[in-house]
Amino acid sequence: MNLWRLEWLRLVRTKRWIALVGVYVFFGLLGPLTARYLAEILERFGGGVEVTFPPPVPADGMIQYISNVSQMGLLVAVVVAAGSLGFDAKPEMGVFLRTRVSEVWDILVPRLIVTFLAIAASFVLGALAAWYETVVLIGSLPVGGTLAGIGYGLLYLALVVAVVAAAASRAKSVLSTVLITILVLLVMPIIGVVEAVGEWLPSHLVGALADIPAGAGIGDFVPAAGVTVVFVGLSLWLAVRWSAAREL
Amino acid sequence: MIVRTSQLRKDYGSTVALRNVDLQVPSGSVYGLVGPNGAGKTTLLGVLAGLRRPTSGTVEIDAEWTKVAVLPDTPQFDAWLTGREVVDLARSLTDASVPASRVDEVLEQAGLADAARRTVGGYSRGMLQRLGVASTVVGRPTLLMLDEPSSALDPAGRREVLDLVARLRGEATVIFSSHILGDVQEVCDTVGILRAGELLFQGPINRLLVGSAVPTYRLRMRPPSEAAVSALRDAPWVRSIERVSGEEVRIFVESVEAAEKHLAAALAGTDVRIVSFGPEAATLEQVFLELTS
């Protein structure tokens, strides 16, 4: 038994992986389906009201997927990450680990990496499901652009995990870790309303998987990706610094 | 000394948790750190374990950090791990060169061999405490710090934990904090008394019990016994007399020597029938109350 296996067991035995994979794959399958049959669905439940939509285009499949997972998927990801990274939330558990490692980094690394890989794998599986179904139901997507969109999405999720780590190093409970993280993640799109600033913010990456197939350039997201990399580093630095300074 | 602190102070805002504590823990001892709730025991152990930073003062620990183990008062573990996995994790983090067979050995010693493959979410409070002890000893530490390991357990659980601590004597130095003085008196050979962050006394427990309390004798007589009580009350070497029952009194004397010299003669001068008399050993509780009141 070691700290890497501990994190693996946390995912498997607590069924957290099912929550992650379930929510991303569910929305991956639901998104293109909704995009393809939205008019029919609204007609059936609209009490005879005829609704006219333009014919769906392939990008709509990814737009639906992103609009769903950027809320529900993100919430599940934050809760799962907070449950793993908030190792001091129960001080007795923190004492067990902290008195047996030389640096707090030794505890953080497996939790950061295993949690990120689980969230990333779920996001990619959901995106692949959405991609496949979009191709089947609506039409093909540009391979390069879609892969780039997935890459930008992964970069944003790395930031989410890093922000959770920083929040957990200050918060006294898993719930407060979740709330602090959501607050930080919500502030970014609000600031991003200012157009000149928005394209530099990490939150700009959330829509990359939808925007690139819809016609945006891959390079349009490079400034936000650069800022995100800096923010990831900053968040991890804060997480280590604050965790090391924390008293139990 | 395996642990030595100098002028150790810890403040939480305007609250002083530790006041210039000079702790000295002899190597190989079972050191009882006693004090009422809020005396600073947990804070002191936290500072020694590196979990809290002192405001001022120094801490010297003459042991490798991998050989220092800490057990909090209510140990908790991930509920979905088995008992064996918890101890094995403690082993691999503390000293991976310790053979895996050591895990089964300490689980057996802790009386958890049968429950080792069950998840700890189903463990009782006493089992969790014993699992905590097993996790602290698996890496063969040279210094153990146990924070109130028996305070919240039922009598059977308390007995099991005390037996586990007693077995550690000779294998490691143990710092055992508790406010249950009977437990400390039973398993510790050295004691430190904390009150409001101040170390009032530290040293061998025998020296504390003999040297600090008012020497006391217990006397049993057949009634009527008023004549004996009256004669003793007038003796200059008697501080006071407390009637325990109709047949028994406690005599607080100036010194053991004076009582040994005069008590038998004083009783012989009366017609009272004496059943027995002898010195009463002070309990840690008496000494503690005397020091802290």
Supply the pLDDT for residue B135: 93
pLDDT digits 0-9 by tens, A155-207 = 999 999 999 999 999 999 999 999 999 999 988 888 877 777 878 889 889 88
Task: Assign A163 to helix, strand or coil.
Answer: helix
CA distances from B124 to A86, B75, B84 (A): 25, 12, 16
- On whether the CB atoms of residues B190 and B26 are closer than 8 A, the answer is yes
pLDDT of residue B203: 85
Q: What is the CATH number of the domain that holds B226?
A: 3.30.70.920
The per-residue pLDDT for range A206-247, each reduced to its tens digit, is: 889 988 988 888 888 999 999 999 999 999 999 999 998 888
B51: nearest CB among A1, A9, A247: A247
The pLDDT assigned to A47 comes to 65
Say if the Cβ atoms of A99 and B50 lie within 8 Å: yes
B239 and B198 together in one domain: no
Enclosing domain of residue B244: 214-292
Task: Find the radius of gyration of the CA atoms of chain B.
Answer: 24
- For residue B98, what are its two tokens? 């310790």
**CA-closest candidate to residue A103, choices B48, B65, B132, B64:** B65
- Domain boundaries along the sequence of chain A: 3-245
User: What is the total count of domains within chain B?
Assistant: 2
**Whole-angstrom Cα distance, residue B109 to residue A237?**
43
Read off the tokens for B165: 């601590």
ipTM over 0.90: no
Q: Which uninterrupted H or E stretch holds A237? A: helix A222-245
**Same domain, yes or no, for B195 and B232?**
no
pLDDT tens profile B9-56? 999 988 899 999 999 999 989 999 988 888 899 999 999 998 999 999
Q: What is the distance, to the nearest Å, from the Cα of residue A168 to the centroid of all Cα atoms in its chain?
A: 17
What span, in angstroms and rounded, lies between the C-alpha atoms of B94 and B88? 10
Per-window interface: A 6-25 vs B, CB < 8 A: 6, 9-10, 13-14
Using CB atoms, pick whichever of B76, B80, B91 lies closest to residue A14: B80
Same structural domain for residues B30 and B54?
yes
As a whole number, the mean pLDDT across chain B is 87
Q: Which residues of B touch A (CB under 8 A)?
A: 46, 49-53, 65, 68-70, 72, 74-78, 80-81, 85, 88-94, 135
| B283 has pLDDT over 90 | no
Q: How far apart are CA B177 and CA B186, in angstroms?
A: 13
Say if residue A18's pLDDT is above 60.
yes
Same domain as B11, residue B98: yes
